[in-house]
Structure 1
Amino acid sequence: HPENMPYLPNLSASGIDFPSTLESVEKYYFDQALKLADGNESRAASLLGLSRDKFRYRRKKQP
């Protein structure tokens, strides 16, 4: 696992907290993109295949 990569639980009969898992994965990739882009949101968005507006909107929604 790369540093700070979120734990991805295995799906079992008892289920998983899917929304929380998605939030963790999204936050990880947003943080990584911002790091690679030296904090530039437009470049980070491009690295993730998102528009700058979509990137900012989804980042704001993160806990």
Structure 2
Amino acid sequence: MAVTITTRVEEELIKLIDEIARREGMDRSTVLRRFLIKAVKEWMVEKALQDYQQGKITLWQA
């Protein structure tokens, strides 16, 4: 189930997002959703690598 979230961002960032949406033929919400998904996945990988390097988890867990 999708949930609506609200946040404030700088106007310049919205202009960039709108430009990306225009170039990709998507709406703003789709662009933001894809960016959020990508950012969360990247964070999870970085966190797993940090935890592995610090000995908090095994390679298998990472």
TM-score class, shorter-chain normalisation, is: 0.3 to 0.5
Task: For CA contacts below 8 A with separation 6 or more, give which structure has more relative contact order.
Answer: 1
The structure in which a higher percent of residues are helix is 2
| TM, length-normalised to structure 1 | 0.39
